[in-house]
């Protein structure tokens, strides 16, 4: 029997990307799709993780951590983009502060909750309007590499960057 | 006590302790800048409500440095969850001073809920914060500032602004000067 390469679950692949990117400070607001990833991040000794009450608060906390030399990310649902827009513009974009937003993108293909649909459909349009670069998984795209690429873009361009991970991505969850 | 009196006391404290100082949006930042403009000051020009969050993130990232944030009652009311997050994390090196003058001082002194019924010290305690101090004179504030580098001070003040001038620095200039110090290891 030959050894096959280990297949990572979606959460494991994102976690690998977080580690590969050297992210060491994470805030989170939960989503059902993040229920495996959040404990992984919380247990990682090299990552300082804290839950926050609202995404806008998380943007502020990450900005402060960046000023303290940290590489920052926020785990969130796309609904939280709406809660963060003023801060992303008048804090991150004003002062050139990088931030990686790892986003469970609800309200798209396979969404069972009708209330998720309006923000689900607005998410990429809002990011376009705000000139926030975003990355999405695709065929033959390694999810861990996607996270690293997104963080590198945030760090190089000194701005917020999003990775949008829609419902079908998480369905592959083991 | 007016806000400027509280800022004078805090400026004296951070000058002595070398703490990093996060200033709140609007006239508070202008007054801090006017009283004592040093590279360890970060002037938050936008993002109302987030001064206490920026201070918390910085304090958690840099346990080797003291961090002080000056916030206002209107801003805390806009981001009240911050009191729960600060309580949960409770870093030893973080002091939040809420200058509670019961008004949105930068926009025409419209009254806030703290001028009617809301007690921010009680909210802070209810959120789980152990070290919550209430002061209403510069002398009381000075005494508490001498005794602690951690916790939340609610400084009751009357509304009113000075005519401190606009900060001429660019946002890039503010953050670059600040992070040259805040992101470096302590010696």
Q: Distance from A24 to chain B by nearest Cα, in Å?
A: 10
Average pLDDT for B61-78: 98
Neighboring chain A residues of B52 at a CB cutoff of 8 Å = 60
Q: Distance from B106 to chain A by nearest Cα, in Å?
A: 17
Are the C-beta atoms of residues B160 and B2 closer than 8 Å to each other? yes
**Residue B103 pLDDT more than 50?**
yes
Residue among A20, A51, A56 at smallest CA distance from A35? A51
Output helix, strand, coil percentages for chain B, rounded to the nearest 5. Answer: 45, 20, 35
- Burial of A139 per CB tally in 10 Å (0-12, 13-18, 19+): exposed
Query: Quick one: DSSP state of residue B184?
Result: S
Rounded to 10 degrees, the C-alpha dihedral A149/A150/A152/A156 comes to: 130
Interface contacts (A, B; CB < 8 Å): 117
Are the C-beta atoms of residues B6 and B138 closer than 8 Å to each other? yes
Is residue A3, in this structure, part of any structural domain at all?
Answer: no
In this prediction, residue B185 carries a pLDDT of 79
Picking from A25, A53, A68, the nearest residue to B182 by CB comes out as A68
Domain of A148 in residue numbering reads as 10-171
Picking from A51, A62, A95, the nearest residue to B171 by CB comes out as A95
Rounded to an integer, what is the distance from CA A91 to the centroid of its chain?
18
Query: Domain count of chain A?
Result: 1
Q: Any idea where the domains of chain B sit in the sequence? A: 3-182
Are the C-beta atoms of residues A54 and A83 closer than 8 Å to each other? yes
| ipTM over the 0.95 cut-off | yes
Residue A12: both structure tokens together: 């494991």
In this prediction, residue A171 carries a pLDDT of 87
Contact A50 B22 (CB under 8 A): no
Q: Sheet holding B94-100: strands in order across?
A: B41-43, B20-23, B67-72, B94-100, B151-156, B132-135
Rounded to an integer, what is the distance from CA B77 to the centroid of its chain?
14
Q: What is the pTM of this model?
A: 0.97
Q: Distance from B165 to chain A by nearest Cα, in Å?
A: 21
Q: What is the pLDDT of residues A95-114, one digit of tens each?
A: 999 999 999 999 999 999 99
Pick the CATH number of B3-182 from 3.30.1180.10, 3.40.50.970, 3.30.420.40, 3.10.20.30: 3.40.50.970
Contacts of B97 (CB under 8 A, 6+ apart): B6, B10, B68, B69, B70, B71, B152, B153, B155
Picking from A53, A58, A95, the nearest residue to B84 by CB comes out as A53
Picking from B47, B85, B182, the nearest residue to A67 by CB comes out as B182
Q: Distance from B67 to chain A by nearest Cα, in Å?
A: 10
CATH of the domain at A38: 3.40.50.970
Q: What is the pLDDT of residues A43-85, one digit of tens each?
A: 999 999 999 999 999 999 999 999 999 999 999 999 999 999 9
Distance in angstroms (rounded) separating the CA atoms of residues B25 and B29:
6
- Pairing label, strands A134-135, A99-105: unpaired
């Amino acid at each position: 029997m030959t050894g096959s390469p280990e297949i990572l679950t979606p959460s494991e692949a994102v976690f690998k990307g977080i580690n590969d990117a050297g992210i060491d400070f994470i805030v989170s607001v939960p989503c059902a799709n993040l229920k495996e990833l959040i404990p992984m991040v919380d247990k990682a000794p090299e990552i300082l993780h804290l839950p926050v009450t609202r995404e806008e608060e998380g943007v502020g906390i990450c900005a402060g951590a960046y000023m303290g030399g940290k590489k920052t990310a926020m785990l969130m649902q796309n609904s939280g983009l709406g809660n963060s827009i003023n801060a992303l513009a008048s804090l991150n974009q004003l002062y050139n502060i990088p931030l990686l937003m790892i986003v469970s993108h609800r309200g798209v293909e396979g969404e069972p909750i009708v209330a998720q649909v309006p923000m689900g459909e607005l998410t990429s349009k809002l990011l376009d309007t705000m000139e926030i670069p975003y990355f999405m998984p695709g065929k033959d795209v390694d999810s861990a590499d996607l996270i690293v690429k997104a963080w590198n873009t945030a760090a190089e361009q000194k701005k917020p960057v999003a990775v949008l991970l829609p419902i079908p991505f998480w369905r592959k969850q083991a | 006590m007016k806000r400027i009196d509280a800022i004078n006391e805090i400026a004296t404290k951070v000058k002595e302790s070398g703490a990093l100082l996060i200033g709140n949006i609007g006239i508070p930042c202008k007054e801090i800048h006017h009283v004592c403009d040093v590279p360890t000051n970060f002037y938050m020009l936008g993002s109302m409500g987030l001064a206490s969050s920026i201070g918390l993130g910085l304090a958690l990232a840099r346990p080797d440095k003291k961090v002080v944030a000056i916030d206002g009652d209107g801003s805390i009311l806009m981001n009240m969850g911050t009191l729960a997050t600060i309580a949960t994390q409770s870093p030893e090196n973080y002091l939040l001073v809420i200058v509670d003058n019961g008004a949105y001082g930068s926009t025409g002194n419209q009254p806030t809920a703290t001028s009617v019924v809301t007690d921010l010290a009680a909210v802070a305690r209810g959120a789980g914060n152990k070290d919550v101090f209430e002061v209403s004179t510069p002398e009381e504030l000075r005494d508490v500032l001498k005794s602690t580098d951690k916790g939340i001070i609610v400084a009751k003040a009357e509304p009113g602004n000075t005519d401190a001038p606009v900060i001429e620095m660019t946002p890039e200039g503010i953050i670059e000067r600040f992070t040259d110090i805040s992101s470096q290891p302590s010696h």
